[in-house]
Each structure stands twice: as structure tokens, then as C-alpha cells.
Amino acid sequence: MIEKFHMADMVDKFEAANPGKTVTIVEYPDNQALSNFALQWSQDKSSQDIVVVDGASVAVQFLAKDLIVDFNKTDFFQGPTAKENFVGETLAYDSLGDVQFAIPIGLETYNISANKTYFAEAGLLDADGNIPEPKDWDELYDMAAAMTVRDGNTVTRPGMTIQWGPNAVSTMIAVEQAVRGSFYKDDDKTLTFDTKEMRDVLEVWKKGVDAGVFSIDTFANKDAGRSNFNAGNIPMVLETAAHVPEAAPTIGEENSVVLAMPGSMTNGSYGFTAGVIVPSASKNQDLAIKFIQEGMMSDVQVAVGLEWGKLPVIKDYFDQIDAPWKTAMYDLVKISKPAPMYRDLPEIQVTGKQLLQEYLTGAKDVDTFLTEFEALIEKSNKNAD
């Protein structure tokens, strides 16, 4: 994350403008490290002044016991970082009620990153040389099947990789939002996957796994889809669409395109941002906020967007992005929805992934899978405090 967000540049910028102030960046290995931080914070101690979390919904749990700062109660939204200077509804990704628990950085959304070369080879491009949007998952399956390569009975190149690893539940949320327009029950707050639309998708997924059309590499290696797409080895990958600019240097800017998964142009997908949080136990809160304002919300965001597809959250910098994928990506971001802000979201993500993988590998039928998943959601704590 340090490299992707060009954090060294942010620090240089801030230190140059604030002589005598030093910012030290420390990388933590994964989200589990946050538990150590939280333990410290709950004892009113903090060895960090700012923490950047990947997927700000993770941060919502720290609202309990006021472990993190509510930016609405600070001077953060003054001057260049006033609320009206943020792109669209960006701030809503990291707010709950009237609490702004994190500052978003890098807008992303789940969708299909596609390599046009393979579509051309399979004769799937339309008369204008574009990839036609699949109307439903059956059509998407057919496209993927047409690009799947076999040697006898062995699949040597699957048509598509779907993120079914640690972020499998995010994928389900994205797909359901696209095909149904919501991933909630009628009460608009209880997550559900037991819907007709999602059952149809799950059936196609299972068929794709059985036929080798959809690869299951991500079960063991969450980066398998991304690595293979960036290396030009697979036609499509469904996870964050930020891989499109990331793959451009290797597969060519003209070949690396965002392909809207069925329904996403109308209903959106799953949108997310990294979140910048400040622990309440930080002794340097004012300086931390100054660093976020001057270092993180700076023009460094332009380079991050162009290189890694993480769109700037500040309007001025967003407008400076000039890339063919920008409009398509932003149109999706605008109508996409963040993950539910549940206290037990981490447990839903881990156990949900396990259940989905069991269904896809045939260890569970669709009814058992959905019944167990719904039971998991039912018993989980859906509050944030």
C-alpha cells in the first residue's frame, strides 16, 4: 500500500512544507495487525498517529468505545479539504450516520478487467471493435467459454478468474448489486444472498468451475487473477477494476479495458476506498490531520490514479486524470455501494468465503450453502457499536 499510494512522496511533500516535522511510515503485514493497534488504543495508547486501512468498512468496528477520531468533530473539512471539494458521494463510503470515521483515499469498484486481444482472437468484438456488454451471466459464461483453451481434457487457459479468495464476499456483494440493484433485504439493512437473481448467478458460477471456464486459482492465491491478468495470461478477471490501468504497461493500454458485468451499468457494483483513520489515543492528532490534508489529499493522488487505477477523491486531482478508462470507471463508482457496516463483517467475510468455496467445489449444494450463509448473517451482530 505504501508504494501504491506513493506515500514516500506524500511524506516528502509534507516535510518540505513543515520544517522540523518528521513522518515515519511503517508497513503492517495484513489487517490482523489492526487488532494489535486496537488493543493499544483501548488502553489509551497509540504508537501510530495515522493508520491507512484497505477497505474502510474494516475501520467501522473501531467506532466502538470511540477508538478512532470522528473527522466531523475536527477542523479537517476546512479549506481545500472542505466537503464540497470531494468527488461525488465519496465521503459517504467512510461515514456512518453523522460520524465520519475515516477519510477515503483511492476510489475503486469491482468489475471486469478484460484483455481485448483474447476477445479479438475469439471473434467476440462487435463491428466497432469493442467488447459487447454481456446482458446476463449466461452470456458472460459463453464469452468466457469461447476463450477457454484446452489440451485434451485439461484446461490450459481458463476464460475468466473471479475473486473467490479472501474477498469472495465482496465479489458476491458486487455481483448481487449489479444483477438485482441491492444486496439487502426489503428492510434495506440486512444482507442477503438468497434471492432468485443470485441463485441464477451461483448456478452459472458452479457450471463454470465444473467446466474449467472459471478458474479457482484465487482459492489458494488471492492475487492469482490479478497476476495472470497483468501478465496477459487470462482474458478476464472479476475483482477491483483498478487492474485495468495496472495491466496497461504489459498488455497495452488499448487492450486493457473495463467490461461492465451484467447489470452493473444500471445498478452499480461494490465500491470501496482505502480509509485514513486517526486513533483517538494519538497524542499528535492536529499534526496527523494536517498531514492528511497537506500530504495525502495532495496532487500525489493523480499519479496514484494513473498508475494503479485508484481514483483521486479530491475533485481538482480527479479532473487531472486523463485516461481512457476514467469515465467508465467513475460512472460505475458513482452508482456503486459500500459493504454493510456491520460489527461482525470480518466474520461474515471469512466464513462466507469458506461456504462459497465449499459450494463451488461441490461439498455443499446451493440450498445448504445459502441456508448456512443466511444463518451466519442472521446470527451476526449487524450494529457498528
Partner 1 sequence: MVITAVRPTLPDEPVRTRPDKVGKRRKFSSGVLFILPAFLFIFVFMLYPLVSSGYMSFTEYNFVYDDAPKFIGLDNYFAAFQDPLFTTALRNTFVYGVFFFVTVMASSLVIALLLFQKLRFNAFYRSAVFVPIVVPLSLAGLVFLWILQPNYGLLNHILGDVLNMPFLAQPWLSNADTAMASIIVLGAWASIGFVTILFLAGLQGISQDTLEAAEMDGAAGIKKVFHIILPSLRETYVLTGTWTIIHALKVFVEPMVMTDGGPGTSTLVVYQQVYLTAFTYFDMGYASAMGYILGLIILVLVVLNFFIGKIRADKDA
Site residues (vs partner 1, CB under 8 A): 31-32, 35-36, 38-39, 42, 61-62, 64-65, 67, 151-158, 165-166, 215-217, 219-222, 224, 228, 233, 343-344, 346-347, 350-351, 353-355, 357-358, 360-361, 363-364
> Closer CB to partner 1, residue 151 or residue 322?
151
In this structure, the chain runs to a length of 385
Instruction: Answer yes or no: are the C-beta atoms of 272 and 309 closer than 8 Å.
Output: no
- Does residue 116 sit in helix, strand or coil? helix
> Closer CB to partner 1, residue 75 or residue 210?
210
> Closer CB to partner 1, residue 2 or residue 375?
375
Q: How far is the CB of 336 from partner 1 (least distance, A)?
A: 25
* Alpha helices (H) in 279-365, listed in sequence order: 285-291, 300-308, 315-320, 326-335, 345-360
Q: How far is the CB of 339 from partner 1 (least distance, A)?
A: 15
Q: How far is the CB of 170 from partner 1 (least distance, A)?
A: 15
Q: How far is the CB of 340 from partner 1 (least distance, A)?
A: 16
210-229: b or e for each residue (b if 16 or more CB lie within 10 Å)?
ebbbbbbbbbeebebbbbbb
> Closer CB to partner 1, residue 241 or residue 345?
345
Q: How far is the CB of 262 from partner 1 (least distance, A)?
A: 25
Q: Which helix (H) or strand (E) holds 143?
A: helix 137-146
Crossing angle of helices 366-379 and 196-211, in 10° steps, is 130
> Closer CB to partner 1, residue 18 or residue 31?
31
Could you tell me which residues are beta bridge partners of residue 337?
270
> Closer CB to partner 1, residue 240 or residue 349?
349
Could you tell me which residues are beta bridge partners of residue 191?
184
Instruction: Answer yes or no: are the C-beta atoms of 313 and 90 closer than 8 Å.
Output: yes
CA 52 to chain centre: 14
> Closer CB to partner 1, residue 7 or residue 355?
355
CA dihedral over 373, 197, 260, 102, signed as positive or negative: negative
Q: Which helix (H) or strand (E) holds 110?
A: strand 103-115
Q: How far is the CB of 196 from partner 1 (least distance, A)?
A: 25
Q: How far is the CB of 381 from partner 1 (least distance, A)?
A: 9
Instruction: Answer yes or no: are the C-beta atoms of 214 and 203 closer than 8 Å.
Output: no
> Closer CB to partner 1, residue 17 or residue 363?
363
d(CA 158, CA 125): 19
Q: How far is the CB of 355 from partner 1 (least distance, A)?
A: 7
Distance set, CA 155 to CA 114, 115, 141, 152, 230 (Å):
19, 19, 15, 8, 20
